[in-house]
Chains A and B, each alone.
Chain A
């Protein structure tokens, strides 16, 4: 199994190189540079030229690329010319917020989706299944922003159960106070987000159970005199969870792209909101760094899926 993981890690190297090249070239193709627009229009054009030359913008693209990659290795993602701070520090604060929100959302997603999927699969075509299917159609068909804004308006604004913006309240103090306040700000967006995110997992699990129920090996287990309850949990369910594990990487990527909307709706200071803000402010340095990070996280998500798969499915281990 370690061989599988090692091989998977080695495959990631070319993936990362291609990703960084693409991100860099796309950033280069975007119009303008840090010196267009953000500098006093009365500045002497010659001086701007000099600045451009000093920043290395006239070097061949591959020289610029290797300089950029070299800086990446030093943890230098460049400087935001809009906010005038290093992108690294800009992202670090937000990354923390997004990480905890995503983690909470993931936990909630699976704790909602897995029981629902099991119920639907076990009681296929019965009323329990119909109920889950209706829930699934609603969550699949409702656009996130409609659902979030509706929830925000109803529970946050009208009923006042949850804070409607921010990640921590200003007057929280002490370790537990801050932690509680953070959780209080996070839990509501996470619940709303998780409800929308369950669809895929529920559907995969339901289909898995329905398909596996009629497999020959399940009949074999029954023919051995294994009680039905054990047949379900030990044989059917374990095989049905395979697609969920394969889907995990996708879920993580989905959470990241979805975080843009939920964070914007709740003015939650995370990477998703930063990304959208960077687009509207034409903050290319930050944008490039974020795209690179999202790309890397996607690769890590897939890696995680593969590792989990290789742990639970012996068929894909490399001998």
Chain B
């Protein structure tokens, strides 16, 4: 049952439980289900982005454009709803298509022109942020009965907590992500590609096509995150979600995915993002700690998990040799 591949995600789970347990032990308010459901709602957009990022990192790549994509999609949505008078459902559909389209283009450039993913998605990061500026320079509210209705959906749970539309959408996307990773041919190809792209090609994995699909998927998830972020904040702002790509990468690493690719779980990413959320909540509950402690704590966790992974890899190699 416990094999070395599952150790990182077990460690992630342990850290999650320890941090949550600490909160419950230390603060009375933490016991309420409200804290947990708020974690789901407040971190939904980060989790959704990080799910897409998981596929990218599993394949051995990276996507730096996700933060800008969130801002771009939000601003685009606001423009289509307020200025063009489109129905939000229609606008969301178009926005998602735009996200997939740009993701596909980045994938094509990476796969066919053999330019490093790091550089291509970096250019994408500049481009999307720039496109967001082109549409609108200010923060604009998104007020439409349909969006209001969506944010009013609420399923109460025992205690004071409850699931918002945002949280439920995130959970659905999470389940889809897990199924795609573990139950589809595409998911297997992603793992194979990250393990060893050369052998994967020899085994008949369509490398180019898979790479394109991966970045299209990441484009879809970050666009979805943009939609959720817009509903969550009720507004669109071209400077939104700056640096979210870093948080997403950190969530993936803390979630136990090897950055060399090939090993990891989408569910781990969910835990990784939730851990970052808990740290923030704990710091808010404490009240006396400054905001920079979040950065230090996340950095420390990153270091811990990377060293843990390294240790496991070395241990496995030694065991295999001996």
Partners in one complex: no
